[in-house]
Amino acid sequence: MRLSRVSCSLSFDVRSLEQTPAGCIGFPHVQSNSPLLPRDTGRTNCRATARRCRKGVHSAPNRTNMATIAGGRRVGRQAPLSPPDQNPSAKALMRPDVNHSILLQTRLEEISDGFGAVSQPLGAAMSHAALSSGKRFRGMLLLLAAEASGGVCDTMVDAAAAVEMVHAASLIFDDLPCMDDASLRRGQPATHVAHGESRAVLGGIALITEAMSVLATARGATGAVRAQLVRILARSLGPQGLCAGQDLDLHAAKNGAGVEQEQDLKTGVLFIAGLEMLAVVKDFDDEEKAQMIAFGRQLGRVFQSYDDLLDVIGDRAALGKDVGRDAAAPGPKRGLLAVADMQQVSRHYEASRAQLDAMLRSKRLQAPEIAALLERVLPYGVRA
């Protein structure tokens, strides 16, 4: 199987740039403007789901044999786990670098089994995007945050898988000739290169609908909770989310405030959506929800700032994607480089990254595994 490669306030604000050129799984852990959730969201149902998570209520009797997967062999859906003392591969499950990655990848593979039920070529295009090796940063962050808040339950695994499917779909669209015209993604040909433009577009749409279906039938969740999860993810995609952010990125005139809005809509909304779903499932109070939303927004800004830097200084082979398109492409520059030079963007990134670390003091984010994941994906010391 394929495992994931887990590779602004403060003193500097981006606006200033324009003024100067179902069950809990007790595994050890693994080492980017959305309104608050409505108050009338069925707290009783949320608390019931949260209690199921905390009590370790399993809702999926056909769980895949994780120990066998850790050993490198795919097995049937109903294969039982062997006792640890009889299964030498069981120790692999206790490795901090595989547990949550296995959960997420396995769930994505289970979901992908139905992609080609009617059209095998369409299913192949969907799987090409959804199962390709990548950081799985959004899904992994969500699972680690869930673990820090009482445990990873089936509902949260489904939420993480749905977020990753939507992200994969967004990459399909981002790479199209009418968008970024990129040929490489996650170390392999972009979906439209491998499967054709028409099938790539259809595959991206289908991935989004499948993600919604996963949330609408999320394991271990009540009907009210499922409805909230679907609403949160849907809101992050449309005219107040990803689509608006991509449109601004491609077509809007650039200034500091506008670029920050692009970051919030193009990148931050999906981080926020995942953390909002966590808040629903774990029944966070209003203050905790606000902290999750603020963290997701800041994470989106930091992540996109780093991505802008990598477009200039990154290596195509190491990153597994095309670079130099935003900075060197004909026409107006995009992202932060449209309103600042490399040195300014680098300083802004470092300052914003420090603020993100400060936000980890929230009790729901106080986990060394989360800090370690951020350090791997968004390292300090980036220089132009």
Digit-coded pLDDT (tens) for 272-290: 999 999 999 999 999 999 9
Average pLDDT of the segment spanning 102-129: 95
Mean pLDDT of 204-228: 98
Q: Is 329 or 71 the better-scoring residue by pLDDT?
A: 329
| Terminal-to-terminal C-alpha distance of the chain | 37
Q: State the pLDDT at residue 336.
A: 79
Domains of the chain, start order: 24-74+96-377 (1.10.600.10)
Interval 221-268: pLDDT, tens = 999 999 999 999 999 999 999 999 999 988 888 888 888 999 999 999
- The reported pLDDT for the residue numbered 219 is 97
Q: For residue 83, is it left (φ>0), alpha (ψ between -120 and 50) or beta?
A: beta
State which H helix or E strand residue 200 sits in.
Answer: helix 197-216
pLDDT (tens digit per residue) in 358-382: 999 888 898 899 999 999 999 988 7
Selection from 276, 270, 2 nearest residue 130 by Cα: 2
Joined together, the tokens standing for residue 20 give: 């100067």
* pLDDT one-digit tens code per residue, 3-58: 333 333 333 343 433 333 334 443 333 333 333 333 333 444 445 555 555 444 44
Contact present, 127 and 111 (Cβ < 8 Å) = no
Torsion of CA 43, 356, 338, 189, to 10 degrees: -80
pLDDT value at residue 186: 86
Query: Between 308 and 2, whose confidence is greater?
Result: 308
Percent of all residues in the chain with a pLDDT value above 90, rounded to a whole number? 52
Structure tokens at 105: 């990848």
Instruction: Retrieve residue 350's tokens.
Output: 């470092």
